[in-house]
Every structure is written in C-alpha cells, then in structure tokens.
Structure 1
C-alpha cells in the first residue's frame, strides 16, 4: 500500500495544534501527532482560562481582540469582568498599566475604594485602587478544544495519539517522522506546536532552539465561607502575585507563579499552594474552609514573551507555532488563522487584517543575534 505523503504534520494536539489543524484541514492533507493518550492533557486540559484583553501585554492585544468576536459568536465566552487591584504603594504601577494600554483598543476604567469594595466583598481596607475591565469573560476551554478537534476531523485531518515524535529527518520532498511507537510518517512540512517541548522538537529537526521556556503555574480550589458569589469578577494583583475567580461557589486561586521547569507532567508543590493561600488571606477576610483541589500546568514563553508563528529562518519546511504562554487559549482563533495563512501563503482576512505578522516571526531572534554580533 502506498504510504500517504501529508502536506503538513503538526506535532501536538493541544489547543495550538488542534486549532491550526482545523484551519489547515480544508486546504491541505494534515497529520496531527499527539504524544499523550488524548489531546489536551497538559496545558490545555489544566487551564483556568479567561479572555482578558490585557493579558500577555500590549504585544498580545491584537491577537486577543481579533479572537474575541469568534469566541463570542460561537458561544465560548461567559461574561465575568476583571479587576486589577492594588494598595496605596501600588499607585505608580496602576498609572503605568493604564499608560501601557492606552491606544491599544482595550476598555479599562480606573476605580477607587468604593467601586472596588462594591465588586469584591471581603476585600481588606488597604486595597484601595483598582482598574476595571468590563469585557473580561470566562472561556469554555473544553468546549473550544472539542470544537477544533471536531473541525479538524471533519476536514479530513488525521489525528494520531500515543505518537511521541523521536525522529525528524529531512529527505527529498519533505520529512520522515518517526515515533516512539515505531511508526513512520512522511510530510512535506512539519509544524512545531509542541508547547513546552517546542525547543526539543526543534533540536530533533536540526533547528536552533529559540529559548522557549516552560514555567509551572499552580491553581487551587478553595471552599470559602460565605460561598463566592457568581458575579464576582476575576481579581488580579497589579503586582502579579495572585489572582482568583469564582467557580460554582468555590474560588479558583493562583499565586501567579512562573516556576522554571523542564518539560514534564506538572504537579503542584506544597510551598506554592501555601503561598497562594497566604497571599489570598492578605487581600481578603474570607474564611477558608478547605483546599479542595490543587493542580499545575505548564506555560511556555519565548524570550520576549510573545508567541512565535512562522517558518524557521534556517531549516526549510519547518514551521513554529509555539510560545503562547498563558494566553494561547484566548488568542487561539486569530493565532491559528494567522499561522495557517502564513503556511499556505494566503492573504489576510477580516479576522487577521489588523495583525502585524512580523512581530511574531521566528526570525526576530536571529535578526537580533546578527545585529548584536555585527
């Protein structure tokens, strides 16, 4: 039987790989190789995701805003609202935050103590300054992921799980791809959507790693008295030391940690759980009845903390779709559409027309290196 030569092989079937496969599937023969037993086991399956206009900084805003309408139209957003909170000493940070996002298109409003206390019961008196972001919403992460998995299957894309890629070899017409299970596949192009393993995959392909570092993020579920109100906004410390949001009367709380780690099946550390609880008690007088659940996931960042979309500057037929940090889910619609347009050589459409692709191109790192060496 003749072996299938795929147009593209995507490594990874989390939100990144699944969304990109769904976009490419109608136009190309697509293979998706997932190392785990099921897609979305790592970062996607452990996300407490929210669509938050300022998350990731001004450089990510165009992707977030472009994705917003898609997520709303398909029913994946549930209105929440967000509050960045601070104390008297944090006013300069608050001022700087407002200045950073001026002119980016985000909607934010400064609030004082009265407006803050009205939205967050039990907040302590010394928390007196806030920035209100009304458009923030919860994301149905599982629903969005299944949406893309269904779309990729309907397009004819072929998804293979338990397919850990351990060999990538250039050959005439493309790539020979070997897996730990002993299977071999061939594709004209390889797309690196491997999340925390992106640099590892790059090395196997003979490409230079870009310094995409995995970082552990911890989340705990608290049972509190009284129960968390349904209309509580997402609450984030302006200094990035905690955030919390309600979930069915409970609270999901994170110490906003970014612990460097090797790519792995992340697990929470007791010290990070304790740190989260301590920080929460410094901002509210809610009584914690129990820490009911705890988990951790990996978020992977490029050196400049912006995502990496596009062809490798040296290795032909090798594309990057990685480094999406903690904002990969909220930017998935625009990011996947943009990456597919780059790979297929298509022009922009209404979803991507306001996005500057050069900002996210992999060659931005080699250009900086060449400039420094020059």
Structure 2
C-alpha cells in the first residue's frame, strides 16, 4: 500500500489507538482540540471490561480485544491494563429480572446465585427485596490511563506526531489532498483525514463531507461517595441488571453511577445535581451503606450512532474522510480490536468478516438519516 499522510482528528482512545495502528505504514499526525489528550470521554471513563455488555457487534469486538489486553500486560514497562474485579448483577423488580435472565443466557461465564451467596460477595446488600442475581467472574477493571498512554507512546515511537490545542476549523479537498486549518493558525496537508472526534464527530464530518452520521452525545454521571461503613477493596462491581445504577470500590470510598444517558451537545459536560442525588438514593435503597457524603462527581460523554454500533470506514460522501466514531459507552473495552479492524479497513478497503463489516459500515447511518 502506498504510504500516505494521515491527519487524525481527536486525541481520545479512538484517535490514539487507530493512529498507533496506522503509523506502522503511514505518516500520521494527530490533532487534539484541547490542551491535553483524553480530556472528555476517555479521561472521565470508569471503564470496566464486560464481555457481555452492549449490542452483538460490541460484544464481538470486546471478546476479540481480550487477547490484545493480555499481550499488553506481558510487555515490559507496561502496566497491566486489566485487573480482576468480578461483576455481581442483581434484580430487584421484574424488568431487572428479565434483563438479568437475558444476560445470563448470553454469557457462559455468568453463574446464577442465591441472595445469600450475593451477600457473601457484598455484605452491605439488603437482605430483602432482591429477586435474582448472578455473578460474572470475567468482569475486570481497565486501567484507562495506562492503555491510552501506551497507544500514544507507540504512536510517537513509530514516527507519529501529536499536536494539542489544535481544533479543526477548516478542511478543503484540493488536487487530491486535504488542506486543513486549526484554531491555532497552523495548516496541515494530508491525503486522508481520520475522524476520531468522538462527540464532535458529526461536526468534523459536516466540515469535511457536508453530512454527519446522526451521532448522539449522552452524558454519563460518576460519583465518588463516602460511607460510614468500611468499603473493602475486593468487592465486585455491583449493578442493577436493567442498568439503573452500579457501584464499585474506589480508593476506600465508593464509585457509583446512575447509568444516565441524557442527550447533550458536545462540550465540557458537568454532572446534574439531580443525577447525583438519584444514584445515592437508588444505591441506599438496596444496601445498608448509608451514603450521604459526596467526595467528588463528574460527567463524561458517550456518543452513540442511532443503532449504538461503531461507525468505521470511508464516509459515504467523501472516501478520503475515514470515519472512526460512535464508540458509545464501549470504546475502551473494545479499543484494541476496533483499532485493528479500522486499520485493516483503511489498508484494504474491506474485511474478511462480512457481518462485522456491515455492522460498522458508515453507509448504514446515511440510510437511517434518510428515513
């Protein structure tokens, strides 16, 4: 394949992982609008590796990523990106019980437990009200910072450049080349632009190709709360199977989320106090933790395509704009495999897995918008 100049827009996990893969064969420059990398979604992620989480294509990519996570953990000087945690999924009403049954049916690593067995794993769960539960020993924590740093470091080792404080403000296709301009006054020439701009993915697509993908940025709230009771570091992540809350230990306190998905414009999102109060109420209702005091809270962006699958490949209106957006709430756990898939599509224009290719094809988003 002819060596090309590639301009990657976006310095989160999507941009650095695909940029790292492309730098094997191409001259890569990554531009990030903020003064540092991984400010919005990646830097605010409380990521877990949950192989049974998300739609079918996400589960496939997550499972494919596991081997790469294992390989990275064996590299000298690279912190292990995955550490054991375990996941305890609970049901407190009929809708949660139905969601849990579907989850257990789809995940051979999940084991159905009694309420008493669940309380062995997390003794602070209330003794009454739980109608079903299951444990997934395969659930693990992801060291997001270590994974992102690894990709950014290897991107530089392979000759790639990273420029921060450089928001894309213009891009023209002139004589088979991109002439791009950034907010700091710099100009960039590239053969291909890679749109890895996360919540700003539609803005970049409209700037370069005149049409977005129908992306929807959604706010997700995370809270660190204190409890008057001890929080053992070896508790599993505990979640409502219907995804209305989850919590896990974090530095002697508790990290918890109401699993909110409030549609918001791209930007520096802040937590809504109502969401913070809501998750404390929900977790207190099913535990004896007595959460009252919030140490800190924040919010991040999870950006979904209409069908919640990633959007990977040439833009339907402009083949020299390569789409790598729509990772939603799954971008960290499927990052290794998705970057490899993206690089294969970039290199060959096709995938050997036709089902996967159709599931992530950007053309499907244009069809959805037309209807």
Output the TM-score relative to the length of structure 1: 0.92
Alignment CA distance shift 1:207-1:111 (3 Å)? farther
C-alpha offsets along residues 275-319 of structure 1, whole Å, 9 cap, x if unaligned? 111111111111225210111101100000111111112212011
Matches within 5 A, 1:5-24: 7-24=5-22
Contact 1:62 1:355 in 2 (8 A): no
C-alpha offsets along residues 145-194 of structure 1, whole Å, 9 cap, x if unaligned? 10001000000011111000010111112211111111110100111000
The more displaced of 241-250 and 84-93 is: 84-93
Q: Distance in 2 between matches of 1:347 and 1:202?
A: 21
Q: 2:77 matched to which residue of 1?
A: none
Alignment counterpart, residue 103 of structure 2, candidates 61, 74, 97:
97
Deviation at 1:354, TM superposition (A): 9.9
Q: 1:79 matched to which residue of 2?
A: 84
Matches within 5 A, 1:169-318: 169-288=172-291, 290-318=293-321
Matches within 5 A, 1:51-130: 51-74=49-72, 75-89=80-94, 90-99=96-105, 101=106, 107-124=109-126, 125-130=128-133
Q: Distance in 2 between matches of 1:219 and 1:369?
A: 32
Q: What stretches of structure 2 of length at least 5 have no aligned partner?
A: 73-79
Deviation at 1:94, TM superposition (A): 2.3
C-alpha offsets along residues 19-43 of structure 1, whole Å, 9 cap, x if unaligned? 1111011100111010000110111
Contact 1:76 1:140 in 2 (8 A): yes
RMSD: 1.9
Q: Secondary structure at the match of 1:170?
A: strand
Q: Secondary structure at the match of 1:38?
A: coil
Give the paired residue count. 360
Deviation at 1:96, TM superposition (A): 3.0
Alignment CA distance shift 1:312-1:354 (3 Å)? closer
Q: Distance in 2 between matches of 1:368 and 1:197?
A: 19
Q: Distance in 2 between matches of 1:160 and 1:95?
A: 47
Contact 1:62 1:354 in 2 (8 A): no
Q: Distance in 1 between matches of 2:129 and 2:147?
A: 39
Q: Distance in 2 between matches of 1:250 and 1:239?
A: 24
Contact 1:6 1:31 in 2 (8 A): no
Q: What stretches of structure 1 of length at least 5 have no aligned partner?
A: none
Contact 1:207 1:312 in 2 (8 A): no
Q: Distance in 2 between matches of 1:81 and 1:233?
A: 5
Q: Secondary structure at the match of 2:171?
A: strand
Alignment CA distance shift 1:154-1:58 (3 Å)? same
Alignment CA distance shift 1:162-1:290 (3 Å)? same
Alignment CA distance shift 1:6-1:183 (3 Å)? farther
Output the TM-score relative to the length of structure 2: 0.92
Contact 1:63 1:355 in 2 (8 A): no
Alignment CA distance shift 1:116-1:57 (3 Å)? farther
The more displaced of 358-367 and 151-160 is: 358-367
Deviation at 1:369, TM superposition (A): 6.1
Q: 1:141 matched to which residue of 2?
A: 144
C-alpha offsets along residues 307-343 of structure 1, whole Å, 9 cap, x if unaligned? 1111112212011100111110111100111101111
Q: Secondary structure at the match of 1:156?
A: coil
Q: Secondary structure at the match of 2:231?
A: coil
The more displaced of 300-309 and 283-292 is: 283-292
Q: 2:27 matched to which residue of 1?
A: 29
Alignment CA distance shift 1:45-1:26 (3 Å)? same
Deviation at 1:107, TM superposition (A): 2.0
Q: Distance in 2 between matches of 1:353 and 1:79?
A: 31
Q: 1:366 matched to which residue of 2?
A: 366
Q: Secondary structure at the match of 1:317?
A: strand
Q: Distance in 1 between matches of 2:6 and 2:104?
A: 42
